Structure 1
Amino acid sequence: MNPSASGWINKFGSLVEKERDRYSSFDTLYRDLRSTGFVYGINMGIPQFIVAEHKLSEDECAKINLLNALYSTYTLETSKTDFKAFLEEIFRFYKELEIGHISLLSKILTGSQTAAHLEKLIDSRVSLGDNLISKTFNSIITNSLLFIDVLLFKRYLCNSINIREQAQLVEYLTINITYHALSSKEKNKSDERLAQLFASSLTFIEIDSQNFDGSYREKLLENRSEIENRYFLDVACLAVWEDKSLEYQESEFIFGLGKDLKLAEEDILNSLEEIKIFFIKNSKTIPFLKDTNLAIQFYDNMSKMVNKLILRNSKRLQKELSESKELVYLISKSTLKDLTPEEKKKVQNQLIDIFKSIPSLAIFILPGGAVLLPIFIKLIPKLLPSSFDENRVEK
């Protein structure tokens, strides 16, 4: 399954039909979503029954996890498994929340199928940036508060009245809990990036309107569902454990919050243990923990994007390259020594001709797209016959 290509939602629907009994309760679903990082807003894995064609990026994992969480919530709350009925319900849900407006152009391009529209909507929910520049210069591009959609959908299926007001309240509580959890410790750069990530992910409230004076506790003490309270506690644990330690003041905050949320001490200890395990397993790859300068960040992000484009279009690229022997020769030559200015110009012109024939590579022919060509040329030898690269080390 490829969540970056059209039709992936219908593909998910065909796969999930064989996995109808995988979650016996919302508790088992929650634990699975927490283990993949979806609850924390850091998507490091996907459900085991999904087999990806290629290594997935964080935003692609987030798409799969969000759809899986929403569909599983639907089946648990309604005892229905009709995937088409679910799609119609989830689309109505997002309309009630007044988000994900789809432009007329998008409607024309995707047709009248609800699944096609929903692909666009989910993409807009998952990605914080809607253009190349924002994604390039910000390594954190995935909405960290997507689990709130799941909590709201659960409420919506029971009572759809005032669902947007509920969305505003849950976001308000989440961002306040995060702020006060971070304030219970000595802040570092990772804390600042985490706070920025959560603030950037807000949909229903404005961060500038928050005063963080502690008045949120009155709302927090109101009667809320246990699963919402567990989410609030896990978010707080994420904030305090990010530096891989738990000081006395931080511990006092977590246990005090857990008590306010009417959670048992066992549940509090479990939340702390789960976030500890998650960080031990994923700390080297969690985006907001990486401290790189802007140039390295730009190169890394563009390399990932170009690499994904190459992998997704490898067969078509191989076909196009096979029809241009001179281009193959020049690219192969570039892996061994520098090309002359004339040769470089030939490579650029011929590559752009190829990109014109593959729509998903249109980014290369946009103004400024030529800056990506060196990255492309560095990665493209993977598609060429080994005889063209004498220094290739086969894995």
Structure 2
Amino acid sequence: MNPSANGWIDKFGSLVKYHDGRYTSFDILFEDLNSWGFVYGINTGFPDFITPEHEFSEDEKAKINLLTALYFTLKIAQPQTDFQDFLEKIFQFYETLEVNKVSFLGKLFSGSKTSSKLEKILDSRVYLEDNIISKTFNSSITNSLLFIDVLLFKRYLMHAKGIKKHAQRLEYLAINITYHALNSKRKNKKDKKLAQLLASSLTFIDGDSQKFDNSYRNQLLTNDDLWEKRYLLKLACLTVWEDGSLEFMESEFIQILGKDLQLDAHTIKNSLAHVSNFINSNKETIPFLQDQNMAIKFYDSMSRLVNRLILRNKKRLLKELSGSAELVSLLSKSTVRDLTKEEKKKVQTQLLDIFKSIPSLAIFLLPGGAILLPIFIKLIPTLLPSAFDENRVENEE
């Protein structure tokens, strides 16, 4: 399955139907979403019934996990619902939340099927920005508060009235808790990155207009939803985490928050322990823990973008490359030696002709798009090896 290509939701539907009985309670589903990092907004895993066509990026994992979470939330509540009914219900849900707005380009390249329109909506939920240029320059591009969508959908299935207002309330609590959690500890660079990521993930409220006083605690005391409480506690634990710090496990802020949420000591202790284990197991891949210099960050961000564009347009690119033996030969040569100035010019000209025929690769034709070409040339033989197998120039050393 390729979550960056059109039709991935229908493909998901064809796979998930064989696993409809996997989750009999939200508790079990929550534990899996937790282990995949989805609850924390840090997607490191995904369901084992999904077979990737390529190594998934974090945003692709986020899309799969979001759809999985929404689907099984509905199946737990309404076991007889089929996949098409699920798609319609999810579409209505996002329509009620007024987040079903798709960009002009999204409308241009999406079909009329509910699943096609939903693909664009999920894209807009996963990505922090709605244009491809801004995604290029963000090192952390995925919405870190996606689990709120799942909590809202769970509530929506019971009573849809007032769901938008409740969404605002949940985000208000989330951003206040993270703000006060950060202020409860000695801040570092990682904390600033996390705060920026969480603030940029807000959808239903304006983070800049919030008053960060203790009044949020009054709303915590009146919240009777167990899963919202557990989520807010997890978010706080993530925020106060410190590598190898005993103070983390004994955080006074977490203990007070746990009491406000009316959660028992065992739940609080387990949340702290799970966050610590999760981060220690995945710290090499968690974006906000990375401290790269700007040049590396810029290159990595653009590489991820080009990687995604190649995989998203895999079939079209293979078709175009199959009709250009000279280009394939030159790209193959570029993997083992530097091309001459004349060869580089030929590659650039022929690639630009291909980009003109594939609308979603139009970014390469925009002013400044040429800086992405070297990355494209470097990645394409690796990502589309079938186009080069017969023409690859082997290293003669």
TM range (shorter): over 0.9
Residue in 1 aligned with 2:78?
Answer: 78
**Residues 181, 104 of structure 1: alpha-carbon distance in 2 compared, 3 angstrom cutoff:** closer
TM-score by length of 2: 0.92
Structure 1 contact 240–250 (Cα < 8 Å) conserved: no
Residue in 2 aligned with 1:162?
Answer: 162
Task: Give the Å deviation of 1:260.
Answer: 1.7
Name which of structure 1's ranges 182-191 and 80-89 shifts more when overlaid on structure 2: 80-89
Residue in 1 aligned with 2:254?
Answer: 254
**Secondary structure at 1:331's aligned position in 2?**
helix
**Residues 122, 348 of structure 1: alpha-carbon distance in 2 compared, 3 angstrom cutoff:** same
**Residues 327, 84 of structure 1: alpha-carbon distance in 2 compared, 3 angstrom cutoff:** closer
**Residues 392, 293 of structure 1: alpha-carbon distance in 2 compared, 3 angstrom cutoff:** farther
1:117 aligns with 2:117: yes
Please list, as runs of the form range in 1=range in 2, the aligned pairs for 1:48-59 lying within 5 A after superposition: 48-59=48-59
Structure 1 contact 73–154 (Cα < 8 Å) conserved: yes
Q: Which runs of 5+ in 2 are unaligned?
A: none
Task: Give the Å deviation of 1:290.
Answer: 1.1
Please list, as runs of the form range in 1=range in 2, the aligned pairs for 1:83-102 lying within 5 A after superposition: 83-102=83-102
Task: Give the Å deviation of 1:88.
Answer: 1.4
Residue in 2 aligned with 1:45?
Answer: 45
Q: Which runs of 5+ in 1 are unaligned?
A: none
Structure 1 contact 137–294 (Cα < 8 Å) conserved: no
Residue in 2 aligned with 1:150?
Answer: 150
Please list, as runs of the form range in 1=range in 2, the aligned pairs for 1:342-361 lying within 5 A after superposition: 342-361=342-361
Structure 1 contact 184–249 (Cα < 8 Å) conserved: no
Task: Give the Å deviation of 1:51.
Answer: 1.4
Please list, as runs of the form range in 1=range in 2, the aligned pairs for 1:1-395 lying within 5 A after superposition: 1-102=1-102, 106-107=106-107, 109-241=109-241, 243-247=243-247, 251-313=251-313, 316-382=316-382, 383=385, 384-385=388-389, 388-391=392-395
**Secondary structure at 1:227's aligned position in 2?**
helix
Structure 2 contact 242–248 (Cα < 8 Å) conserved: no
TM-superposition CA deviations, 1:367-394 (whole Å, max 9, x none): 322111111222234333487444499x
Task: Give the Å deviation of 1:311.
Answer: 4.2
Amino acid at match of 2:256: G
Aligned length: 393
**Residues 269, 50 of structure 1: alpha-carbon distance in 2 compared, 3 angstrom cutoff:** same
**Residues 242, 40 of structure 1: alpha-carbon distance in 2 compared, 3 angstrom cutoff:** farther
How far apart in 1 are the matches of 2:320 and 2:249? 61
Task: Give the Å deviation of 1:2.
Answer: 1.2
Task: Give the Å deviation of 1:232.
Answer: 0.7
Name which of structure 1's ranges 73-82 and 58-67 shifts more when overlaid on structure 2: 73-82
- Superposed CA RMSD in Å reads 2.3
How far apart in 1 are the matches of 2:296 and 2:308? 18
How far apart in 1 are the matches of 2:207 and 2:185? 21
TM-superposition CA deviations, 1:279-335 (whole Å, max 9, x none): 122100011111112221111111122233334555654554454343344334444
